């Protein structure tokens, strides 16, 4: 996410931060490079023009140019303006005081509305809500079956009918059913359409009149850049939207849509899709996104992912095992699984301040798979007591896991080093950094 743009902007500001004194000409030269980087990232031209004008106005002031660290002050100005451009604060979905809250999903064909509807339902379910999905896409034959399947995976009921041909009537029936079942969230999937198709847009208006949604969310593919922004504006002009969900943000290295859509439509990005799994939907944090673009990381985001992956009770058990020096190879395998469950490792490294700037730092996730396979090939006794794993056992484990004896030796060495580090921490000593 924002990888290409981030690399270019970080390179620009690295030059500025290396200078003790800044002149107005230095800031102007940097802003020219910023302008080019934003345009290459497919950010709307007017948005780029307004953004650079605001940064110039603040960055060439006396307080910045005559400060002790003028380069860092300019970066702070850019960070603040990027945050404002992205929406300033987290924009949450408004919940109705009189349930159910009706959320209508709109957008183009292929933007990911159906999958995103199921992701949103699962997100609400994890928050303790009682969502219901509505298969309101009656244009695409497989849409109903797709949503029913996704609903089963999420454990959320889906209201559907293959006989009903009127989306407004179907939506009205779903609202009645949601009230009868005591559902507090009703998420309505709709057929994809172009904003210039007046007949289909009128259909959406009839659905809106029928169910009076509290939120109408435009679902856009982030990788389509300015096309997504222009179409979002078209939908807002035609029927009115309350917010935007950007899908495929994990594959969008440029970020043009995210940086343009709030300024062009006036509507905030509320959620972003960060992967194919049903739990890969999360609130959009403008300040954190700006920090990641400028290489400042996203520590809060990393902590939140860790809290989701690691259960508090399990963490307490693990702490006791470390304290009593009974941390086994089976425990190591479980921790590796949890780390992998937090998402792509390169993405996690990008959340650590400074790590995103390290070029050539690639994480081979296959190594984690290999380590798990090696541990799975061990007997229960070997997992509990690694000291019994002699040469012949190592050969057997390597053969059983499809690894080499060298791979087995490396894993066992890393495990021993971990145990040593845990022992030193228990004794209150600071261990030396080791390569794990």
Query: Rounded to 5 degrees, what are φ and ψ at 53?
Result: -65, -40
What tokens were used for 257?
């849509």
Q: What is the pLDDT of residue 316?
A: 65
Q: Which tens digits make up the pLDDT trace of 13-41?
A: 787 776 667 778 888 888 888 899 888 88
Q: Is the pLDDT of residue 251 over 80?
A: no
CA 186 vs CA 32, 167, 192, 280: distances in Å:
47, 15, 19, 20
Q: Judge if the upstream peptide bond of residue 100 is cis by omega within 30 degrees of 0.
A: yes
Query: Rounded to 5 degrees, what are φ and ψ at 186?
Result: -120, 115
Q: Which ranges constitute the DSSP H helices of 195-246?
A: 198-211, 226-238
Q: Strand pairing partners for 103?
A: 187, 215
> Distance between the two ends of the chain, CA-based, in angstroms?
27
CA 398 vs CA 287, 375, 395, 407: distances in Å:
47, 10, 5, 8
Q: Is 246 left (phi over 0), alpha (psi -120 to 50) or beta?
A: beta
Which H helix or E strand runs over 406?
A: helix 405-426
What tokens were used for 121?
């339902």
Q: Is the pLDDT of residue 93 over 60?
A: yes
Q: Which ranges constitute the DSSP H helices of 142-188?
A: 143-154, 167-181
Q: Are 360 and 349 in contact (CB under 8 A)?
A: no
Q: Is 362 left (phi over 0), alpha (psi -120 to 50) or beta?
A: beta
Distance CA 104, CA 113 (A): 10
CA 266 vs CA 240, 242, 289, 416: distances in Å:
11, 9, 18, 56
The DSSP code for 354 is: T
Q: Strand pairing partners for 246?
A: 220, 272
Out of 6-15, 216-225, 330-339, 352-361, least confident range: 352-361
Q: Which tens digits make up the pLDDT trace of 150-181?
A: 999 999 999 988 888 888 999 999 999 999 99
Q: Is the pLDDT of residue 288 over 90?
A: no
User: Which carries the bigger pLDDT value, residue 82 or residue 311?
Assistant: 82
Question: 132 falls in which pLDDT band (50, 70, 90)?
Answer: very high
Question: 424 falls in which pLDDT band (50, 70, 90)?
Answer: low
Q: Are strands 158-159 and 215-221 parallel, antiparallel or unpaired?
A: unpaired
Rg over alpha carbons for the chain, rounded to the nearest Å, is 26
Q: Are 376 and 347 in contact (CB under 8 A)?
A: no
Name the fold adopted by 101-297. Rossmann fold (3.40.50)
Q: Are 158 and 212 in contact (CB under 8 A)?
A: no
Question: 434 falls in which pLDDT band (50, 70, 90)?
Answer: very low
Q: Strand pairing partners for 136?
A: 190
Name the fold adopted by 3-86. 1.20.120
Q: Is the pLDDT of residue 270 over 70?
A: yes
Q: Is the pLDDT of residue 327 over 80?
A: no
Q: Select from 94, 139, 145, 148 the least CA-distant residue to 118.
A: 148
What tokens were used for 365?
């996730």
Q: What is the pLDDT of residue 287?
A: 86
Q: What is the pLDDT of residue 129?
A: 93
Domain positions in the chain: 3-86, 101-297, 302-426
Q: What is the pLDDT of residue 430?
A: 44
Write down the residue that tokens 């057997």 correspond to.
396
Q: Select from 248, 194, 199, 189 the least CA-distant residue to 220.
A: 248
Q: Are 346 and 360 in contact (CB under 8 A)?
A: no
pTM of the shown model: 0.68
Out of 47-51, 278-282, 347-351, least confident range: 347-351
Q: Is the pLDDT of residue 348 over 60?
A: no
Out of 145-149, 347-351, 355-359, 361-365, least confident range: 355-359
Name the fold adopted by 302-426. 434 Repressor (Amino-terminal Domain) (1.10.260)
Share of the chain above pLDDT 90, in %: 26
């Amino acid at each position: 996410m924002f990888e290409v743009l981030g690399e270019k902007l970080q390179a620009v500001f690295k030059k500025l931060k290396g200078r003790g004194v800044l002149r107005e000409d230095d800031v102007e030269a940097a802003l020219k490079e910023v302008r080019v980087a934003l345009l290459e990232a497919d950010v709307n031209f007017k948005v780029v023009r307004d953004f650079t004008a605001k940064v110039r106005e603040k960055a060439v002031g006396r307080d910045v140019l005559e400060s002790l660290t003028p380069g860092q002050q300019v970066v702070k100005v850019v960070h603040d303006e990027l945050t404002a451009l992205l929406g300033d604060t987290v924009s949450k979905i408004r919940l109705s005081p009189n349930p159910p809250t009706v959320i209508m999903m709109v957008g183009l064909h292929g933007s990911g509305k159906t999958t995103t509807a199921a992701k949103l339902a699962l997100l609400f379910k994890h928050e303790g809500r009682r969502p219901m999905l509505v298969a309101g896409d009656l244009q695409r034959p497989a849409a109903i079956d797709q949503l029913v399947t996704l609903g089963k995976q999420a454990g959320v009921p889906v209201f559907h009918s293959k006989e009903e041909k009127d989306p407004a009537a179907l939506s009205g029936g779903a609202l009645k059913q949601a009230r009868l079942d005591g559902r507090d969230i009703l998420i309505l999937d709709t057929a994809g359409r172009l904003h210039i198709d007046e007949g289909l847009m009128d259909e959406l208006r009839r659905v809106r009149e029928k169910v009076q949604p509290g939120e109408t969310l435009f679902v856009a593919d982030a990788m389509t850049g300015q096309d997504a922004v222009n179409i979002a504006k078209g939908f807002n002009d035609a029927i009115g939207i309350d917010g935007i969900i950007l899908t495929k943000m994990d594959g969008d290295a440029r970020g043009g849509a995210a940086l343009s859509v709030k300024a062009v439509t006036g509507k905030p990005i509320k959620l972003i899709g960060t992967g194919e799994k049903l739990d890969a939907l999360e609130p959009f944090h403008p300040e954190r996104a700006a920090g990641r673009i400028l290489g400042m990381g996203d520590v809060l985001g990393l902590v939140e992912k860790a809290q989701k992956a690691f259960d508090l009770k399990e963490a307490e058990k693990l702490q006791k095992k470390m304290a009593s020096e009974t941390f086994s190879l089976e425990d190591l395998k479980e921790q590796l699984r949890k780390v992998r469950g937090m998402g792509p490792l390169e993405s996690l490294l990008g959340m650590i301040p400074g790590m995103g700037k390290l070029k050539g730092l690639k994480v081979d996730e296959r190594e984690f798979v290999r380590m798990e396979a090696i541990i799975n090939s061990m007997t229960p006794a070997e997992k509990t007591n690694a000291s019994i794993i002699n040469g012949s056992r190592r050969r057997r484990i390597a053969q059983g896991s499809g690894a080499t004896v060298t791979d087995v030796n490396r894993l066992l060495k890393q495990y021993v080093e971990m145990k040593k580090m845990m022992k030193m921490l228990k004794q209150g000593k600071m261990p030396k950094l080791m390569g794990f």
